[in-house]
Amino acid sequence: MNKLVRKYLFLITSITSIFLSACNLGDGIMERNEEPLASAYANFQELNENYRSTHFEVKLICEAQGYPHPIRVFPSINKQWIIEADAEKSDETQGDYIFYKLNGAGNITDTLYLAYKGYWAELIDDFMVFTNYEEAYYTTWPLDGDTTKRYFKVLNADLNWSADKVNQHIENAKANSKYWFCKYITNNENSYLKFYYYQNKQWQILWQKVEGFQTVRDEESSGRYSVEVIRTGETDPHLAENITYLHHHRLEKLSYSHNIGGGNPGFDVTNWRGKAFFKTSVNDRDFHFFEPNIAVENEQSDGNKNRFYIVSEPNASAIIFTPLIYKVPNSFAFYTSDRNKLYLIREKIRSK
């Protein structure tokens, strides 16, 4: 090969390198990793409704757009589960909610749509309790699917009881009622305690006028009877204990930003983005998945704990990636990493 040809090839190679570098700079990618993915992770899939497996079924069980309200899951009676989601899709449906009832196998057995009519709905074992300023009623939908309204018995509505009588009644009700909770309200600069309780198969409300508005303590709230097991939209950069981080396959080196909020300035980071691979288990069988577009960070000041962020594109703001899974013993699991989506994962029937 003569010198002229060698010079020509060198020139072409140099121009090509400069062109490729310019392209990379143009799209914000500083460097690309050409190393192939390790074979151990070749069969991992992204965890979404397109997940296909010989051993598992992955189902998008609930999707909701009602920001900022999360999708929440509650244990219910008879080994059932209730999913609560904001049903808002327009101004006309603002405040509406939808509930799904699941049996022990993870199948939806009933659906309840509640248009907002000024009531707050709360789950208390057999009952769905509805309260507003003036009145309250309940149904037994969690127990038997019945949505018939049954109204509370109201005591001291005219506020004629003495303070001693009211206080004694409340103490007795607290000691002898299966359920009780409080709410404080204000109307025309007057403050009231509304004491709700279930006794002798009857829901009742007792009114009491009080001095100044007060805050209900957690141990007196209705929420203590319906403790959620998982909710969408949580933001914790550290991995949950029941999910194991396995590997990060680097793909592109780029810059992105962290927005701290609260008036504090953000900062930029240069890091690798790629696929993050994880392992958990469902019904004692290993379950594998990956998440794309993940940057992994760790710092000595944080005990070198891995933190996971979704980076959608170069120079974008990083979004905390928080995968959460709740495992129903000897059955299925709920999974979420997205504010708007809740998945159900269950094992396919094993052949004997």
Domain final residue, candidates 184, 202, 231 = 231
Instruction: Kindly tell me the burial class for residue 23, based on how many C-beta atoms sit within 10 Å of its own C-beta (0-12, 13-18, 19 or more).
Output: exposed
Residue after which a domain boundary falls, among 196, 212, 231: 231
Query: Which among 215, 231, 247 is the end of a domain?
Result: 231
In a domain, 195, yes or no: yes
Domain check: are 206 and 322 in the same one? no
Cis peptide before 68 (omega within 30 of 0): yes
DSSP string, 261-316: BTTB--EEEEEEEEEEEEEEEETTEEEEEEEEEEEEE--GGGTT--EEEE--STTP
170 and 253 in a single domain? The answer is no
Same domain for 137 and 249? no
Q: How many angstroms separate the CA atoms of 293 and 276, rounded? A: 8
Q: Are residues 204 and 87 in the same domain?
A: yes
User: How many domains is the chain built from?
Assistant: 2
Question: What is the model's pLDDT at position 18?
Answer: 44
Would 192 be classed as within a structural domain?
yes
Residues 103 and 210 in one domain: yes
Residue 48 lies in a domain: yes
Query: Distance of CA 184 to CAs 156, 175, 216, 218, 313, Å?
Result: 15, 21, 7, 13, 48
Whether residue 84 is found in the same domain as residue 142:
yes
Same domain for 268 and 128, yes or no, is no
Secondary structure letter of residue 350 according to DSSP: P
The answer on pLDDT for 19 being more than 70 is: no
Task: Express each pLDDT in 105-138 by its tens digit.
Answer: 999 999 999 999 999 999 999 999 999 988 999 9
The answer to the question of residue 16 being in a domain is no
On whether residue 66 sits in a domain, the answer given is no
d(CA 345, CA 340): 17
Quick one: pLDDT at residue 105?
A: 95
Task: For residues 80 and 40, state if they share a domain.
Answer: no
Task: Give the residue among 187, 108, 204 at the shortest CA–CA distance from 195.
Answer: 204
Co-location of 78 and 217 in the same domain: yes
pLDDT, tens digit, for every residue of 164-178?
999 999 999 999 999
What is the 8-class DSSP label of residue 251?
E
Answer yes or no: do 322 and 249 share one domain: yes
Residue 64: inside a domain: no
For residues 255 and 145, membership in a common domain is answered with: no
Quote the DSSP letter at residue 118: S
Domain with 105 in it: 72-231
Residue 36 lies in a domain: yes
Q: Which helix (H) or strand (E) holds 25?
A: helix 3-27
Q: Residue 317: is its pLDDT beyond 70?
A: yes
Between these two residues, 27 and 43, which has the higher pLDDT value? 43
pTM over 0.95: no
Please check whether residue 150 lies inside any domain of the structure. yes
Give burial (CB, 10 Å; 0-12/13-18/19+) of 321: buried
Is the pLDDT assigned to residue 205 strictly greater than 60?
yes
pLDDT, average across residues 249-276 = 90
Q: How far apart are the first and last CA of the chain?
A: 70
**211 in the same domain as 115:** yes
